[in-house]
Amino acid sequence: MNKVEQKKISNRARKILIFSLFFLSILFLGHKAKAVTVVIGWDPEAIKTRYSGSVLVENDGFDKNYWYLEPKSQERYLIENGKDISELLKTFGQGIYDKDLAKIATSTQSANVDYNFSQQKRGQILLQVEEDGQAWYINPLDNLRYHIANGQHGFDTLVNLAIEISPEKLSVIPITESKGFNELKDNEIDFDMYWSVIDTLKDNYYKPETVNNKDLFYGSLKGITKSLNDPYTEFFTPAGKNEFDNRLEGSVEGIGAMVDTKNSVLQIISPLEGSPAQKAGLLPEDQIWLVDDTDINGYSTSEATALIKGPAGTEVKLQIYRPRTGEIFEVKIIREKITISNVSGKVLDTNIAYIKINMFTLNLKNEFVKIKNEVIDDNTKGIIIDLRNNPGGYTNSAINLADYWLSADEVIFQEKYPNTVNSYSASLGQEINLPTIVLINNGTASASEIFSSALSENGLAQLVGTTTFGKGTGQTLANFPEGSALKYTIFEWLTAKGNSIEKNGIKPDYVIENTTASDLQLQKAQDLLR
């Protein structure tokens, strides 16, 4: 039972006694009794607008109740004593700087008053951020500000400013019991607050030379995507978009490792063949904690990689955590110009075709056809497709590659949207009909997992190695005219049989761990095809 209800019960007991006496007087007065008029049909919105931000006093004939009608929520908050004033200031107080507070008059003789600004703040409780949090109440009746001391003195001030309201009118205004009811609702946006943050930083940040509209705007868009807690959804500035394109196509200057964010930590998916990262001994699943002593915990993938990349010939220092051994160690790597080679191949002994695919780029199909024609002929006994440390890439490239193995209409994978599921099937007809082994490991991710699962679940390949990375969502890009872009998750992908691999990965048919001395996974693949 809240304190309003408790108070009303006490008042009701007194009313019963008075009503009994009143009823007796009617028996004696008879014809002198007057009719009581009941007003119905109050417009709640009109009443709340009329009294918004005011301190209201309800006089029911026995006692007085004081209420603060909070202007944003349009709900009333009971104030009975100095303790309630403390809660009121804590709950509803909004910060304001002296220069802005000075725009609101303290009397009719105040100078330099900004009446439009005063009108915007009417009914609010403002806390001076530069004066030890002194509190002010902007009275809606005169748009003047009144100092509100904490405790009983503040209660007395508000009582003196209260305006009377009838119980009938007050009854249409909802009561709140929450101390934080002025928070935004799930689908509510307060753009005034957004611009207030922008203006406050521009006017008051201690390093004004570092504040500009473009950075504030781009920063807010990055914050929007980060609020989703999805490591694959992020906003790219024009420079960030260019870096993202370079990761998928072409060359970059850096350490030569594909990375992604998993469980809020930057993790190495795969060091590229012959790269500085590989020479430094970095492995899939290694976590990068510090970049040149900067803690990158919570950074987006693009923000973290921007720190790791740099001009060829320069050094970057990384603190690495290796989950498989529990080690924490530091490596210093000299950056190089990294050229990403997508497809390579050779013929192994006993006529086995070996094709290594490093990434599913847009041009993968053409590169694959060239290598395929070089290493596969009428004498080929089987094929090894090496997708170890392949971080993925474009979904269409995975579809096009799987099309060489699958018969027409066999399902490659499925895209699960909020309201529908789309299946993607082979269309060209089976062109490659040879025993196939796909090599996978914990650096095999995304599009390479789509390809691996498509061949495995359709009975066209066996998987050898270790469990894959487990990236089971797909993203798309929305490009903007000035060069920025939004990469966002648009679907969860499922295997041909409808299985989700998100965070679980794909388990191989043959679990084989490599050693530093031998490629046991490749040896197992050759044994299976002999």
Active site residues: 446, 457, 471
Using DSSP bridges, classify how beta strands 462-465 and 473-479 pair: parallel, antiparallel or unpaired. Answer: unpaired
Cα torsion angle, 490, 496, 499, 500, sign: negative
Question: Burial level of 321, CB count in 10 A (0-12/13-18/19+)?
Answer: middle
Distance CA 77, CA 2 (A): 12
419-426, long-range: CB < 8 A, 24+ apart: 421/494, 424/399, 426/402
Please report how many Cα atoms fall inside a 13 Å half-sphere around the Cα of residue 431, on the Cβ side: 13
Of residues 308, 320, 301, 319, the one with CA closest to residue 260: 301
Distance CA 507, CA 516 (A): 22
Contact assessment for residue 257 and residue 271, using Cβ atoms and an 8 Å cutoff: yes
Token code pair at residue 204? 């008051």
Exposure b/e, 256-271, CB count within 10 A at least 16 = b: bbbbbbbeebbbbbbb
- Where do we find the tokens 């350490």? 255
Distance CA 192, CA 187 (A): 15
Of residues 357, 381, 359, the one with CA closest to residue 370: 357
Sequence-distant (≥ 6) Cβ neighbours of residue 81 within 8 angstroms:
152, 155
Of residues 521, 340, 358, the one with CA closest to residue 444: 358
Of residues 382, 339, 335, the one with CA closest to residue 358: 339
Q: What is the DSSP letter of 10?
A: H
The three-state secondary structure class of 418 is: coil
Contact assessment for residue 235 and residue 217, using Cβ atoms and an 8 Å cutoff: no
Beta strands in 99-195 (DSSP E): 125-128, 135-138, 145-148, 163-165
Of residues 57, 91, 89, the one with CA closest to residue 73: 91
Token code pair at residue 370? 């060239």
Distance CA 170, CA 307 (A): 59
